[in-house]
Amino acid sequence: MNGFFLLYLIIKHILMKNLILLLFISSITACSDDDFLKSDFEMQRNDKTVEIPPEGLKLKYKHGLIDQQFFYNTNGFVDSIYNYHSWGSSFAHKYIYNNLNQIVEVRYHEIVAQKPEFNKKDITFYNYNSVNQITSAVTYDKDNVAIEYLTYTYNKDGSLFDADKRVINGNLVQDALRKYEFDSFRNPPYNLYPKAYRIINYINKNNVIKTESTYGSDVHINIHTLKYNTENYIIEEDISNMGLDTDDHRQFTYH
């Protein structure tokens, strides 16, 4: 019996050593996998570059039916826009950025002097995918109630998917009712925003020079007559065939 008992202890000891060794190896492997995954995550995260603004002049004021004043963040993109309507109301947009210079939040505040009950104070939050595209946006009102939720999908060329809209070379050339023609010079708002935000808001790269609108069998054409400064940025815009009290005459100044 003693011999069998001794053999039992030896076998048990060997099995325990093998089990401990197996657990140790598994632990090392798991740690290695964690380190690999962590390194891979860090590599992906570090691969994201901080976006910088397009080169060119920055809008300072835009005068028209709605006057606009532009302020800039230290990152070079727009920080806030204050708008003053000739009818008396005013509204403002404030843009919040993350460390990649992506717009992650927009705060909107509207004051209707004649009817304060129509004042608004909304906040919109934006989510991004790994290739710097905005995938969704949710807007909350002043009572923190979600009032709008949008999702975005994209074409292979990176433009926003919309069956009614067509984008070529950064310009919206057609939507459900209109066709647009463009000059070859920089559209001032293009320099204000990061790429992802420009795309979802159809901010054109160039300036509209002709708008052709179709309503049933009726075709309405607006000609945009533009004046430029020496750097080919528009300083004045007149739009033909516009109705009364419309934004048909605009002036622009720059930093």
What is the per-residue pLDDT across 199-209, written as a single tens digit (0 to 9) for each? 999 999 999 99
| CATH code assigned to 59-254 | 2.40.128.720
Per residue in 72-122, pLDDT tens?
999 999 999 999 988 788 999 999 999 999 999 999 999 998 888 989 999
Per residue in 16-56, pLDDT tens?
444 444 433 343 334 344 443 333 333 334 447 999 999 99
Pick left, alpha or beta for residue 189 (phi over 0 → left; psi -120 to 50 → alpha; otherwise beta): alpha
SS3 51: coil
Name the β-bridge partners of 174. 166, 179
Q: How far apart are alpha carbons 49 and 156 in whole angstroms?
A: 21
Average per-residue pLDDT in the chain?
86
- Can you give the residue ranges of every domain in the chain? 1-47, 59-254
> Which residues, at least 6 apart from 207, have a Cβ–Cβ distance to it below 8 Å?
182, 183, 185, 186, 187, 224, 226, 234, 237
pLDDT of residue 142 exceeding 90, the answer is yes
> For the whole model, what pTM was predicted?
0.80
Pick left, alpha or beta for residue 250 (phi over 0 → left; psi -120 to 50 → alpha; otherwise beta): beta
Torsion of the alpha carbons at 212, 228, 95 and 161, rounded to the nearest 10: 30
> Which residues, at least 6 apart from 135, have a Cβ–Cβ distance to it below 8 Å?
127, 128, 129, 151, 152
